[in-house]
Amino acid sequence: MLKAIVLDMDATLLTSENEISPATLSALLQVQQAGTTVVLASGRSYLRLLPDASKLHLADYGGVLMDVNGTSLYDVKTQQRRYIGGMDAPRIKRVVDFFSQFEVEIQFNQDDAIVTYLPEPIYVMKRRIRGEMRLPADYPWTGGMYSWLCDMRDGYPHQTMIRDLAEAPTHANKLSIVQEPDKIHFVADSAKAQPIWQEFEFAFSDPRKMEVTPKNVSKGSALLALMQERGWQPDEVAAFGDSGNDVSMLKVVKYSVAMGNALPVAKRVANYSTADNNHDGIAKFLQQLNA
C-alpha cells in the first residue's frame, strides 16, 4: 500500500474548470481512509490550497500542503507550518537586476499578497486590455496561466502593481518571470548561459511563467525532507504532475506519474503515465495500481 500520494494542483488534481472531479475526489477519500497520506504540492501559497484541502478532508486524515514549489510544509490537521526557505533581499536584487534587462512582468509572491512589476510596454498593453474588457479599477494587474490578466484574489487578497523596481519588496516566497511563451523561453535560454542559472532554482509552472526560488528549494527537495521525516521510502510514494515545476518531485519516487496533458519535460522523467486531468487520470491510475 502506498504511504503517500503527492499531487500537483493546476492541470493535475484540478480540471480545466478548476475543480476536483467526483471520481478523483472519491478515490482520494478512499485511499486516505485506508491510511495513505495525501500531499498537495503546488506553486500556490498554502492559503490558496486550503479550500481544496477542505474538500479532501485533509485535516481529518493528517494531510500536508507543500506550497510555493517547496518553500514550506503545512500540516493541515495541526495547522503547523515549517518554512524551508524563500527569497530574501539580496536574492531578490540579484534576480531583478538580471531579468529587468528583458521586457518581462516580474511577480513577487508572498503568503497572501502579490506585488507585480510592469515595465512600460507591458503596462501600456495591459491598460489597453483592461479598457477593452471594461474591468473595474481594483481588478488585479497580475498575469496568469492563460492570459495577461488573472484574478487570484481568492488566495492572494492583497495585490499591488508597481512601475519602479525601487519599490520591490525585500522578501518573497518566490519570484515569477512572465511573458508570452515564445518570449519567455528566449529569456530562459538567455539565462541558461549566465551564472545566475546555477544560483537559483528555475521551473516553468505553465508556458507563460518561469518561477524562481532559492537554490535547492523545490518540490523535490521538500518531498525528500518530508519522506525522511515520515520514514517513507521511494517505492511507497506516488507523485502526479504535469509541468516543469513537478520534475524535481517526479525524479525522487518510484511511482512518478505524468498526466496525459503533461508537458514533454514532465513526461520524459515520469515512470508512468495516465489519462489527462479532465478524464480522471489520478483515479484511473490508483485503480490500476490497486487492481
pTM of the model: 0.87
**What is the predicted pLDDT for the residue at 146?**
83
- Residue 161 corresponds to which cell in the numbers above? 502593481
Average pLDDT of the segment spanning 118-125: 97
**CB within 8 Å of 240: residues ≥ 6 apart:** 5, 6, 7, 8, 12, 13, 257, 259, 274, 281, 282, 285
Answer with the residue of higher pLDDT: 85 or 12: 12
Distance CA 76, CA 59 (A): 5
- Long-range Cβ pairs for the range 137-140 (8 Å, 24+): 140/114, 140/116
Average pLDDT of the segment spanning 202-219: 92
* 148, 141 contact by CB (below 8 A): no
- Band (186; pLDDT cuts 50, 70, 90): very high
Q: Annotate 26-43 with DSSP letters as a single string.
A: HHHHHHHHTTPEEEEE-S
Answer with the residue of higher pLDDT: 283 or 154: 283
Radius of gyration of the chain from Cα atoms? 19
- Residue 227 corresponds to which cell in the numbers above? 519522506
Give tens-digit pLDDT for 3-14: 999 999 999 999
Residue 124 has pLDDT above 90, yes or no: yes
Alpha helices in 79-202, H assignment, sequence order: 89-99, 120-133, 181-192, 196-199
Instruction: Kindly list the structural domains of the chain, giving each domain's residue range(s) and its CATH number in brackets, ordered by start.
Output: 4-85+217-289 (3.40.50.1000), 89-214 (3.30.1240.10)
Give tens-digit pLDDT for 27-48: 999 999 999 999 999 988 898 9
Sheet holding 255-258, edge to edge: 80-83, 72-75, 64-67, 37-41, 4-7, 237-241, 255-258, 272-273
Amino acid symbol at 72: S
**What is the predicted pLDDT for the residue at 291?**
60
